[in-house]
Amino acid sequence: MQAGTAVGNLAGVIGVRPEEAAVIEQLKAGSEEAFAWLISRYQQPLYSLIYRILPNPGDAADITQEVFVKVFRGIGHFHGEASLRTWIYRIALHEALNQRRWWSRHQRQQVTIEPENDEQYPPAGEALVDPHESPFDAAAHAEIAARVEAALREVPEPFRTVVVLRDIEGFGYEEIAEILNANLGTVKSRLMRGRAHLKNVLAPFVKAASQRPPRRSPATRACSAEEAL
């Protein structure tokens, strides 16, 4: 595969370990197309992961960009001990946790001037809403997504990270073990405890939702009004 291979072809070979070497070779050769595809493929997923670790969307956006700088500078030293995706997520997690530790030490008493929502990188919960849904359904799903996101932030580390990697990002147990440099038993234990903590936090919301009368869409309400006439 030559350095000028179209970006579309890159997507076809990424993730298959024997062929992944060709993509990595292009990245090491400094292919702009390869790096452009890499950014388009991983920018939003990495931001979503980092946003769930850091308390500020502006910080999450900055760290996301820093991850790609690290990838650019470090790709020459990547020798395929893990998959490319695993390696990138490992860098992202390392940078995010380092930033959170720094923030905990130096920024607790500072007032942020960042906006609540970053325009370029929307909060991760927004990605859970189907853009083709009706406004009624979208609002209901957005409420649930916001509740889950808020509850997830109450799950302590390192359990939260494992829940995000497994249940949101879809990594397998072995991949998570590689990213965290932990054994499978530790990964499964953290996942179980993280899920249990998340379930406990969400329990009051789930109970309240089950007791709430079913909400009707505007169209249903309109039909009922016509029948009453």
Domain chopping of the chain, boundaries: 1-122, 124-229
> How big is the chain by its Cα radius of gyration, in Å?
21
CATH of domain 124-229: 1.10.10.10
Spell out, as residue ranges, where the chain has pLDDT lower than 70: 1-19, 103-141, 212-229
CA-to-CA distance for 161 and 90, rounded, in angstroms? 12
CA-to-CA distance for 93 and 114, rounded, in angstroms? 22
CA-to-CA distance for 11 and 37, rounded, in angstroms? 8
Tokens of 21: 């070497």
pLDDT computed for residue 103 by the predictor? 61
pLDDT computed for residue 205 by the predictor? 80
Amino acid letter, 92: A
Tokens of 172: 């397998």
Q: How far is CA 71 from the centre of its chain?
A: 18
Q: What is the mean pLDDT of the chain?
A: 76
**161: how many CB neighbours lie within 10 A of its CB?**
22
List C-alpha distances in Å: 128 to 1, 3, 81, 124, 152: 36, 36, 33, 7, 14
pLDDT computed for residue 132 by the predictor? 52
The 3-state DSSP class for residue 176 equals helix
pLDDT computed for residue 106 by the predictor? 61
124-229 matches 1-122 in CATH topology: no
pLDDT computed for residue 66 by the predictor? 95
Task: Kindly report the CATH class assigned to 1-122.
Answer: mainly alpha
| Residue 163, C-beta contacts closer than 8 angstroms, at least 6 positions apart | 152, 155, 191, 194, 195, 198
